[in-house]
Amino acid sequence: MKYISTRGQGGEKGFKDVLLAGLAEDGGLYVPKELPQFSAEKISSLRSLPYNELAFEVIKPFVNGEIEDSILKGLIDDSYASFAHTAVAPMTQIGHNEWIMELFHGPTLAFKDFALQLLGRLLNHVLTERGERAIVLGATSGDTGSAAIEGCRHSDALDIFILHPYQRVSEVQRRQMTSVLDDNVNNIAIHGNFDDCQSMVKESFADQSFLPENTRLVAVNSINWARIMAQVVYYFHAALQVGAPDREVAFSVPTGNFGDIFAGYIAKGMGLPVGKLVVATNTNDILHRFFKDNDYRKQELKHTLSPSMDIMVSSNFERLLFDMQNRDGAALASLMDSFQQTGTLSVSDSAWDDIKVLFNSSRTDNESTCSAIKELFDRTGYLADPHTITGVRALAEVDIPEEMPKVVLSTAHPVKFGEAIEKAGLETPALPHHMADLMEREERYSVLENDLKKLHGFIQEHSKHS
């Protein structure tokens, strides 16, 4: 298993190098040169496995022996041992042939825990093995930050700096990050939006000359291939429970950065019978506009009741575009350069028609978010958060064969988004017992202007590498 950049430069890399690099040297994203193939017989053989053992079988080919199997299995076992539900990703039926897969039973109550609990352990293992230390630099629109901090806080080999848009994440989301007081954890609120934070992270990776000597940046955002790799597992987990490999399965996925749904695309490429992938967005709908009209155009970012999807430009979309350009790195690089200059892109009609066979999309505004939360609760007693509900609502918006099982990926616990729940006319649930005192915990974070030099100065000052 080798990895290549979407922009065609830099040659082939192994898993460990891709893990530590995050973003490729040419500004592209790493993808496998070829995907491992799982036959129907192989997929059937996985049906009875608990989640951690399934994860080992799905992840092992991507690591390709660079981490000894017994060590890799131990890291995976540790990653999911702290999840609050023994099924790790339990399924709840909400209608005829419709399920919600709950991905919020990890330590920070969001789907990001599935990847980041493992990523932190992988990074610590490889860095310790190499006798290195590193700085984690990431941006969050709400959930990535707390999951990354939880995954990295105990690592002796890492300092972590997480940027979030000032006053644009929910209070629960902010406090989950800022109440972690470990010496290696640094939370920074940036005056701006998520895209400003993400842009600063990308620029920092592109030019790391500001770093202390003998230090590297590592990425925990979904640009890091290991994030996608870990998320592929729960597509297999859900599909096996609703009839795979004997039945095709549709997935409806709330997404802003395209990482969570791209993992489903990878699962299909490995042989999982994924019949349809539905991109569920809020009014920041660049992905919906692409799949509806072949129009990927920057627009003004809007603040919504589903803030983790308040993203103007989807980082992982480049990985799909690479395949749509027939894996031609030079063509993809030219397309992305044009997008950088003009703020818009489209693909050939034939490429767009081909990808639409698998993908569909839906957009949900704030008003529809609240009404759909209430409707689902009244109908089933199930309380969905404002991101998950976009996936539920999308099932009614798009055409999926009635006989095809439909799975919505539930991305977060509703307690994290009390404003939306209350606007839906319902009561916000209580915090789970392990974080019942969250609102009383001491907070620590810094507020910075949207200024790259100031950010770099802060990192230099607060890094233990200095």
Query: In this structure, what CATH number is given to the domain that contains residue 335?
Result: 3.40.50.1100
pLDDT band at 212 (very low <50, low <70, confident <90, very high): confident
CA distances, 384 to each of 60, 97, 404, 421 (Å): 33, 18, 22, 8
Contact 292, 279 (CB under 8 A): no
Give, in order, the Cα–Cα distances in Å from 415 to each of 247, 384, 397, 430.
34, 10, 26, 7
- The answer to whether 259 touches 228, Cβ cutoff 8 Å, is yes
The mean pLDDT of 431-447, rounded to a whole number, is: 93
Whether the pLDDT of residue 466 is over 80: the answer is no
- The whole-angstrom separation of Cα 93 and Cα 181 is 39
Question: Residue 170: what pLDDT?
Answer: 85
pLDDT at 334 exceeding the cut of 90: yes
453 band by pLDDT with thresholds 50, 70 and 90: very high
Whether 152 is in a domain gets the answer: no
Report yes or no on 343 lying in a domain: yes
Instruction: Kindly name the residue from 13, 73, 112, 276 that is annotated as catalytic.
Output: 112
Residue 112 a catalytic site member: yes
What is the model's pTM?
0.92
C-alpha–C-alpha distance, residues 159 and 147, integer Å: 15
Residue 308 covered by a domain: yes
pLDDT, mean of residues 266-293:
97
Q: Is residue 121 part of a domain?
A: no
Beta bridge partners of 100: 92, 408
DSSP code per residue over 211-228: SPTT-EEE--STTSHHHH
- Residue type at 202 in one-letter notation: K
376-379 contact pairs (CB < 8 A, 24+):
376/94, 377/424, 377/426
Among 162-176, 273-287, 350-364, name the one with the lowest average pLDDT: 162-176
Residue 2 has pLDDT above 60, yes or no: yes
Is position 140 within any domain? no
* Buried/exposed 122-142: b ≥16 CB within 10 Å, e otherwise: bbbbbbeeeeebbbbbbbbbb
Distance CA 84, CA 72 (A): 22
Tokens 């977060």 appear where? Answer: 412
Domain count, the chain: 1
Expressed as residue numbers, the domain containing 81 is 77-110+225-423
Cβ neighbours of residue 407 under 8 Å, at least 6 residues apart? Answer: 91, 98, 99, 100, 101, 238, 239, 242, 249, 250, 251, 252
Asked if residue 341 belongs to a domain, the reply is: yes
* 413-421: average pLDDT: 93
> What value does the mean pLDDT take over residues 100-124?
95
Find all residues with CB under 8 Å of 392, minimum gap 6, and list them. Answer: 94, 100, 252, 372, 376, 384, 408
Q: Is residue 202 part of a domain?
A: no
Looking at the domain assignment, is residue 459 inside a domain?
Answer: no
N- to C-terminal Cα distance for the chain? 36
Q: Is the peptide bond before 401 cis (omega within 30 degrees of 0)?
A: no
